[in-house]
Amino acid sequence: MKELNIDELKRRFQEKIDNDIKIEPKDWMPDDYRQTLIRQISQHAHSEVVGMLPEGNWITRAPNLRRKAVLLAKVQDEAGHGLYLYSAVETLGADREETIDDLHSGKAKYSSIFNYPTLTWADMGAVGWLVDGAAIMNQVPLCRCSYGPYARAMVRVCKEESFHQRQGFEIMMKLASGTPEQKAMAQDALNRFWWPALMMFGPNDADSKHTQQSMDWKIKRHTNDELRQQFVDITVPQAEMIGLEIPDPDLKWNEETGHYDFGEINWDEFWQVVQGNGPCNKDRIDARRKAKEDGMWVREAANAYAEKRKARLAKKAS
């Protein structure tokens, strides 16, 4: 086969994308596409894994056995999702360990929402309902992403996530219909998580540097603002139904657009938290780094044992 020049390769690549043909690991792809995916998928994987920490914070204090088991299973799922995603990253030739080192060094980012603390049990409800709700909204379109392994991982993740949001909403519903103390706890959690949840969709379209290219490559299917609007439209009636109030004085239904108008997000806070100034950035990374360092001797031992065993088996066979 004669060597194709790069423009021809690019043209064929884009043609596949335009025809909704999935790109698979060994297919030719532009370097930028590969790098964008590595960045996005590993960021996504880090978010799952770092996201275990704020909820893990309440596992030992869950109020009854059922809630404890559900929360534990949920946080465990996040670990599973992290793993599915790291395994998608590895199909692109990136090494899991290296991407994790980038997280620990601060080079790689993760969803900023996890830099907020979980202060009460109601936060388990708010995180499940709002944070997982927002995540699902981001993730469902990714099931159709142009890169095969990412799309397949997302199908699995979305299937599993559906219980996450429900369990969160159930917690909120129970609190909202409980004692005044419980209801206040639920409202307080909503107050603290509402705005950070809206920030999860990323900067406004006008300020989002990656959106257009990612849309052309069908890695992304909707813009940040579209998804954010969809989230608000869906979530506001849910809050009303359980008698909680969205902490936004500017929130109101707009007959003309058929959507809710909502107030201005504090982008200053958003960027500060992204850059490391959130209440828990350091705690989260320290915890992940510690887990990795403390586990080093365990991983080494398993390797050493595997080698010894292999050598013994080989000796036996000869």
Partner 1 sequence: MEKALFEYLLRLGDDSLILGHRLSEWCGHGPILEEDIALTNLSLDLIGQATSFLDYAGKVEGKGRSEDDLAFLRFDKDYRNLLLVERPNGDFGVTIMRQFLFDAYRKPLFERLVHSSDETIAAIAAKSLKETKYHLKHSSEWVIRLGDGTEESHERIQEALNDLWKYAAEIFYEDEVDATLKEAGVLPNMETLRADWEEIVYSVLKEATLETPDNNWKQEGGRKGLHTEHLGYILAELQYMQRAYPNMEW
Partner 2 sequence: MSKKEWPLWEVFIRSKQGLSHKHVGSLRAADEQMAIENARDVYTRRSEGISIWVVASANVFASDPNEADSLYEPANSKVYRHPTFYDVPDGIEHM
Task: Examine residue 158 and tell whether it contacts partner 1 (CB under 8 A).
Answer: no
Task: Examine residue 242 and tell whether it contacts partner 1 (CB under 8 A).
Answer: no
Among 14, 57, 87, 204, which residue sits at the site for partner 2 (rule: CB under 8 A)? 87
**Complex with partner 1: residue 72 or 251, whichever CB lies closer:** 72
Alpha-carbon span 295 to 162, nearest angstrom: 32
User: How wide is the angle at C-alpha 301 spanned by C-alphas 296 and 305, nearest 5°?
Assistant: 155
- Residue 276 structure tokens: 């490391």
Among 8, 15, 21, 63, which residue sits at the site for partner 1 (rule: CB under 8 A)? 63
Task: Examine residue 98 and tell whether it contacts partner 2 (CB under 8 A).
Answer: yes
Q: Which does 1 bind (CB under 5 to 8 A by kind): partner 2, partner 1, none?
A: partner 2
Q: Which does 314 bind (CB under 5 to 8 A by kind): partner 1, partner 2, none?
A: none
In eight-state DSSP terms, residue 130 is I
**Complex with partner 1: residue 13 or 84, whichever CB lies closer:** 84
Q: 103-106 long-range contacts, Cβ below 8 Å, gap at least 24? A: 103/42, 103/46, 103/50, 103/285, 103/288, 104/285, 104/288, 104/289, 104/292, 106/276, 106/285
Q: Which stretch binds partner 2 (CB under 8 A): 10-18, 32-40, 220-228, 306-314?
A: 306-314
How many Cα atoms sit within 13 Å of 161 on the Cβ side? Answer: 25
Number of other CB atoms surrounding residue 311 within 10 Å: 10
Alpha-carbon span 156 to 154, nearest angstrom: 5
**Complex with partner 2: residue 6 or 302, whichever CB lies closer:** 302
Q: Which of residues 140-199 bind partner 2 (CB under 8 A)?
A: 152-153, 156, 160
Judged by CB under 8 A, the number of residues near partner 2 is: 31
Q: Which of residues 54-73 bind partner 2 (CB under 8 A)?
A: 73
Residues 6+ away with beta carbon under 8 Å from 144: 151, 218, 221
Task: Examine residue 83 and tell whether it contacts partner 2 (CB under 8 A).
Answer: yes
Task: Examine residue 52 and tell whether it contacts partner 1 (CB under 8 A).
Answer: yes
DSSP letters of 147-186?
Answer: BHHHHHHHHHHHHHHHHHHHHHHHHHHHHHTS-HHHHHHH
Task: Examine residue 76 and tell whether it contacts partner 2 (CB under 8 A).
Answer: yes
Alpha-carbon span 212 to 234, nearest angstrom: 25
**Complex with partner 2: residue 83 or 140, whichever CB lies closer:** 83
Q: By the criterion CB under 8 A, which residues form the site for partner 2?
A: 1, 24, 26-28, 73, 76-77, 80, 83-84, 87, 90, 95-98, 101, 152-153, 156, 160, 296, 299-300, 302-303, 305-306, 309-310
